[in-house]
């Protein structure tokens, strides 16, 4: 039980004891930094509480039908929702499959894909089917391709040409599908999960996993709280968060916290070696995975700063800007960086936000997230006056509108970025 949860002995011991003594609470909170194994633990917990084996419970190779379905993430008693933490995990899984083919690599690849696909389960979109739009075609393509990567068909030493081609196609389809994952959990999904949770399970127990639970909007939080006040006996709710203090106090009071610690360099090396079969040095698992992204967070931050500084430099008057933003504007002005050149550079770096290269399909969302982080830091600046705060908050609203235009209306991201650039430059 929990054999694939590495270097988290404290959390593992508590979970194992609670499962073995049947003392799991209705709601559990797995709290810890990104890359600390929270989702792995949640998925293993779902498998453990559903295991029907008579002997050792929920061993990784348990042959019971329930464990078989959970290993492949196809069990109907599992719901997985919330913004995805590591979209680049599939890139690492593809590398592993090509470098070290076999059953273990096949499982890792299949699970990495389904961690994404399961967020588009029809049960979560009941009554909201129109929102699936283009996503459902990608989901079907991915599921059809996964048949060729089945762990039961896993080769001993090398991938067959058909499996290799299917894996590459799946990875590309997942990159496209990533753009349709909501940045925060919609309230309709929480309500649909409640209806699903109150139905009898196919097996012994259902599990609802909510990743990045701290990023829920108020309406979704209130809907979740309503469920947790009177949770069905046959369901366990597992909330994952890297920011425990951002959750509602009333949700925290109804959840038992299991703490996942940041791994030190030795533990990180162990995870990268055991899981990814790689000796590549990395400061953390998060950093190891981020390096696989076509448009990594570090570059997204760099491009966002260049974009924003050019817009600020072109803006008439910078009075009221917090020092970091004022410094950015001064730098762009000194370098004679114009909005048009900054925009052209951004589009070139992202291949027109994936329009020219599908590997960059998620780059627009990464760019918007980096911009939001810069503005968020500016809002926390202690030297900002009221006028500056109003200005930065207006830009934050522009970002939200840009995200909505992209996700809901499918507008061209390059045109949205251009509109955003000149809107920031003109606001005073």
Residue 16: per-residue pLDDT: 93
- What's the confidence (pLDDT) of residue 319? 54
Number of other CB atoms surrounding residue 398 within 10 Å: 17
| pLDDT tens string 373-424 | 998 888 887 777 777 788 888 899 999 899 888 877 778 999 999 999 988 8
Q: Could you give the residue range(s) of every CATH 3.40.50.300 domain in the chain?
A: 9-290
> What is the mean pLDDT of the segment spanning 34-53?
94
With a cut of 50, say whether residue 352 has pLDDT above it: yes
Question: What stretches of 254-320 show up as alpha helix (H) in DSSP?
Answer: 265-276, 285-290, 297-314
Q: What confidence category does residue 428 fall into, taking pLDDT thresholds of 50, 70 and 90? A: very low
What average pLDDT does the chain have?
A: 89
Tokens of 222: 């209130």
119-123, 142-146, 405-409: segment of lowest average pLDDT: 405-409
Quick one: what percent of the chain has pLDDT higher than 90? 57
Task: Compute the radius of gyration of the chain from its Cα atoms.
Answer: 23
Q: Around 163, how many Cα atoms within 13 Å sit in the side-chain half-sphere?
A: 24
Least confident of 61-75, 104-118, 167-181, 243-257: 167-181
Strands 206-210 and 27-31, how do they pair?
Answer: unpaired
Residue 156 pLDDT: 57
Q: In this predicted model, which residue has the larger pLDDT, 323 or 198?
A: 198
Q: Where are the alpha helices (DSSP H) in 198-296?
A: 218-229, 249-253, 265-276, 285-290
Q: Is the pTM of this model over 0.85?
A: no
Q: Which CATH number fits domain 9-290: 3.40.50.2020, 2.60.40.10, 3.40.1670.10, 3.40.50.300?
A: 3.40.50.300
Strand order through the sheet with 206-210: 78-81, 206-210, 235-241, 27-31, 256-259
Q: Report how far residue 108's alpha carbon sits from residue 36's, in angstroms, rounded to the nearest whole number.
A: 17
């Amino acid at each position: 039980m929990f054999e694939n949860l590495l270097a988290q002995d404290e959390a593992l011991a508590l979970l194992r004891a609670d499962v073995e003594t049947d003392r799991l609470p209705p709601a559990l909170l797995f709290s810890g930094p990104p890359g600390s194994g929270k989702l792995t633990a949640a998925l293993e917990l779902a498998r453990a509480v559903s295991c029907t084996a008579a002997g050792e419970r929920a061993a990784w190779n348990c042959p019971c039908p329930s464990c078989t379905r959970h290993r492949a993430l196809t069990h109907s008693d599992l719901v997985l929702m919330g913004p995805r933490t590591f979209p680049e995990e599939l890139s690492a899984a593809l590398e592993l499959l090509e470098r070290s083919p076999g059953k273990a690599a096949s499982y890792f690849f299949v699970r990495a894909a389904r961690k994404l696909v399961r967020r588009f389960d029809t049960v979560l979109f009941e009554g909201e089917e129109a929102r699936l739009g283009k996503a459902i075609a990608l989901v079907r393509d991915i599921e059809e391709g996964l048949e060729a990567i089945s762990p039961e068909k896993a080769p001993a030493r090398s991938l067959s040409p058909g499996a290799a081609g299917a894996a590459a196609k799946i990875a590309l389809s997942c990159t496209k599908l990533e753009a349709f994952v909501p940045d925060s959990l919609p309230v309709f999904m929480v309500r649909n999960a409640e209806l699903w949770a109150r139905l009898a399970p196919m097996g012994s127990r259902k599990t609802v996993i909510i990743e990045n639970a701290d990023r829920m909007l108020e309406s979704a939080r209130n809907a979740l709280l309503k469920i947790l006040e009177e949770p069905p006996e046959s369901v366990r709710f597992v909330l994952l968060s890297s920011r425990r203090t951002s959750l509602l106090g009333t949700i925290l009071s109804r959840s038992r916290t299991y703490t996942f610690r940041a791994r030190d360099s030795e533990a990180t090396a162990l995870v990268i070696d055991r899981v990814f079969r790689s000796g590549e040095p990395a400061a953390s698992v998060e950093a190891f995975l981020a390096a696989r992204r076509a448009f990594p967070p570090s570059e997204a931050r760099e491009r966002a700063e260049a974009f924003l500084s050019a817009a600020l430099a072109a803006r008439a008057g910078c009075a009221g800007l917090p020092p970091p933003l004022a410094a950015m504007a001064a730098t762009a002005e000194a370098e004679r960086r114009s909005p048009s050149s900054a925009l052209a550079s951004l589009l070139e770096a992202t291949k027109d936000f994936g329009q020219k290269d599908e590997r960059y399909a998620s780059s627009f969302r990464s760019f918007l997230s980096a911009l939001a982080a810069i503005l968020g830091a500016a809002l926390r600046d202690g030297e900002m006056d009221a006028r500056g705060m109003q200005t930065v908050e207006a830009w934050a609203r522009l970002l939200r509108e840009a995200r909505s235009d992209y996700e809901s209306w499918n507008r061209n991201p390059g045109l949205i970025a251009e509109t955003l650039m000149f809107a920031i430059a003109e606001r005073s």
